[in-house]
Amino acid sequence: MNEKGFFITLEGIEGVGKTTNMDFVHKQLVAAGKDVILTREPGGTSLGEDVRNLLLGHKHDGMSSETELLLMFAARAEHLSKVIMPAVMDGKVVLCDRFTDATYAYQGGGRGIPTRRIQELEQWVQGGTRPDMTFLLDLPVEVGLERAGKRSAADRFEKEDMAFFQRVRDRYLQLAAEYPQRFRVIDASKPLDDVQQQISNALQEILN
Ligand code: T5A
């Protein structure tokens, strides 16, 4: 993205600490004088939050992978046009908990939808819009699921098995290797202070 603002995303499997570290990144950016919008996917708009409930709740257990993929992009189309693009065009920093890398990881890696199908939707919905920087918080699947399990009841994705999340993690790492200029891989298995030091170091690159 080369508009006036900046678009940062946080990614990773369940329980890696995205929500915890959104707050940390937000504070660092604000302290550096940035005007920051915090948002998330699926969600980020009124329509998107309704779609999130459809996707994460159990009312539609067994929904087809294609339906899931299209709902992700439907919510994303609304999010981009109503929140992300206006903020970036206005010179703001958009900090988003998950974005299209999650689609490649979960619907592509996890569910097995072909990459080219996701690329077609990405091109249609986003055109050339991509995050400027992506933090991939990475840790072993067992550790992430244990942390997530302690926190809340399992949503529709958290009911999946270890093999599913291993495929998701593998796809994330593959994306990070493919786009090293955009991704910063953070070892999220470390204590929180250490994780935040790694994030802070990477953030300095853009703040400088
Ligand atoms: N999805 C999303 C798709 O399938 N396709 C898509 O395109 C998109 C956009 C969204 C779901 O939707 C799927 C992926 C997801 O399954 P979500 O709520 O956004 O769900 O994501 P979750 O991963 O479920 O969010 P979680 O809240 O479970 O995980 P977080 O935010 O990564 O973890 P967090 O910060 O809540 O931390 C978990 C626990 O660990 C502790 C925290 O205090 C907390 O208790 N913790 C640490 N403990 C020790 N050491 C550290 N370093 C710690 N960091 C945090």
pLDDT in tens, 170-208: 999 999 999 999 999 999 999 999 999 999 999 998 887
**Residue 200: CA atoms inside 13 Å, Cβ hemisphere, count?**
11
**Using one digit for the tens of pLDDT, what is the confidence trace for 119-167?**
999 999 999 999 999 999 999 999 999 998 877 788 999 989 999 999 9
Rounded to whole angstroms, the Cα distance separating 186 from 201 reads 10
Helix (H/G/I), strand (E/B), else coil: 7: strand
pTM of the model: 0.97
Q: What are the phi and psi torsion angles at 21 (to 5°)?
A: -85, -15
Q: How many CB atoms lie within 10 A of CB 90?
A: 12
- From 84, 150, 151, 167, the mutation candidate for ligand 1 (largest count of ligand atoms within 8 A of CB) is 151
Q: What is the pLDDT of residue 2?
A: 46
Contact residues of ligand 1, CB 6 A cut-off: 12, 14-20, 40-42, 56, 72, 97-98, 102-103, 106-107, 147-148, 150-151, 157, 188, 191-192, 195
Helix (H/G/I), strand (E/B), else coil: 145: helix
Question: How many angstroms separate the alpha carbon of residue 127 from the centre of ligand 1?
Answer: 28
Fold entry, domain 6-37+80-207? Rossmann fold (3.40.50)
Domain residue ranges in the chain: 6-37+80-207
